[in-house]
Structure 1
């Protein structure tokens, strides 16, 4: 599932995001959603979120919670 629809993303969900500094390379960072920052219902580049680690980026992929390693 991609991360372009706000309704698909919930606080506590396991996601893969692209950080601002990684936009050129497309490197993914995984984590758990702490806050959803995008207010609009959709965004073509992905919904912006803050992870529990404090990292901020746009969701590229939503995964199962057990897929995230701490």
Structure 2
């Protein structure tokens, strides 16, 4: 499931994010959301979040 809608992402959700430096390669990092950083209800490139390990990136995939 794509991560473009803020309502679908909660703290504790397992997601795959793309970090700023990995945008060209498309490398995804998996983790659990600790903080939502995007305030708008949707974002075309994915909602920006912080993972529990401190990684910041845009959600590309929500893991069910």
Give the TM-score, by structure 2 length: 0.98
* Structure 2 residues not aligned, in runs of 5+: none
- Take 1:5 and 1:26, find their aligned partners in 2: how far apart are those partners? 20
Q: For 1:1-70, what aligned pairs fall within 5 Å after superposition?
A: 1-64=1-64
Cα shift at 1:31: 0.1
* Structure 1 residues not aligned, in runs of 5+: 65-70
Query: Which structure 1 residue ranges, 4+ long, deviate > 4 Å from structure 2?
Result: none
Q: Which has the larger radius of gyration?
A: 1
What are the superposed Cα offsets for residues 42-66 of structure 1, whole Å, 9 maximum, x if unpaired? 00000000000000000000003xx
SS of residue paired to 2:3: coil
Cα RMSD (Å):
0.4
Give the TM-score, by structure 1 length: 0.90
